[in-house]
Amino acid sequence: MASDVRQAATGGTVRRVPAVDRAVRLLDSLRRAGGPRGISELARELGLHKATVRDILLTLEYHGLVERDAATARFRLGAGLARFAVAVRSGESLAAVARPFLRRLVEQTGETALVTVLDGARQLIVAQDEPAGALKISAPVGRRLPLLAGAPAKVLLATLAPARLDALLGAGSLPRYTARSITEPAAYRAELRAVRQQGYALDDEEFLDGVRAVSAPVRGADGVVVAALTVVGFSTRLAPERLRPTIAAVVDAAAEVSLRLGAPPRAADSGDGQRPRDDGPALQLAGAPVGEER
């Protein structure tokens, strides 16, 4: 009823608009049902006239918020609701969403955790957390890394459209940062295919001597990779026997961040282009800048 007034969270009062209130109650009933429902059963549950329920449902159907099964004439929630869910998710900062998961990774692994995105022709660190103590990899937010630096680069490049990848890699040899760097374009492309298939990337002292890293993709609401979530540490601590649990922890954290950004569960790489840019920071070793791109 228009006279139905209740206390608002702000301390004031809210006068509920009957038609809007009924529409929301109908949507919530469909949500709780988990499947199609008929006009009669909705009317009985909510104590409304069938004609009222029908008119509201048809209006919601017009806007794509509910859908009607042509065979049964029963209603379910519509795909149009996803527009609102995406809008809510897009308002959340990637860094803010990732922060608790970076902290969890630091606690699980004892190593530095960070999030990078492509920015032009480099990588950019947009979030990080690191363990206490002096002996650690330091990766300041806002610092830029070379485009092909380490495991996060492989994650960010793995699902790029072929033309975009060709433009970034060029035709010649790739940069050699250490004796273990992959410098042959064909070998690097094969590595990207493996990353795309397995869902994570490794850096075994390929960018910095004595440093290993594990990265996994973070996806946005459309399922496209938007960032790389990485754990990086000294190879003496991130030893081979620690890689399996570290990979599992990083993959799990990246999947959880993706879900909170609205990504479909277990979204598969489409290979049809990715939205990160290229401009990235450099890692610091015990506070001293290492590998920063000029």
pLDDT tens-digit readout, 10-21: 445 668 888 999
Helix (H, G, I), strand (E, B) or coil at 191: helix
d(CA 4, CA 142) in angstroms, rounded, equals 51
DSSP 51-78: HHHHHHHHHHHHTTSEEE-TTT--EEE-
DSSP 76-92: EE-TTHHHHHHHHHHTS
Portion of the chain with pLDDT greater than 70, in percent: 81
Portion of the chain with pLDDT greater than 90, in percent: 45
> Is 85 a residue whose pLDDT tops 70?
no
pTM: 0.61
pLDDT at 14: 67
pLDDT at 268: 42
Q: String of b and e for 160-176 (b: at least 16 CB within 10 Å)? A: beeeebeebbeeeebee
Specify the range with the lowest mean pLDDT, choosing from 54-63, 145-154, 257-266.
257-266
Amino acid (one-letter) located at 232? V
From residue 17, alpha-carbon distances to 5, 20, 89, 174, 189 in Å are 10, 6, 27, 64, 59
Mean pLDDT of 145-152: 92
Mean pLDDT of 89-101: 77
pLDDT at 136: 81
Catalogue all structural domains in the chain, each as residue range(s) with its CATH number. Answer: 5-79 (1.10.10.10), 90-289 (3.30.450.40)
> Is 273 a residue whose pLDDT tops 60?
no
Q: How many CB atoms lie within 10 A of CB 40?
A: 11
Mean pLDDT value across the chain: 81
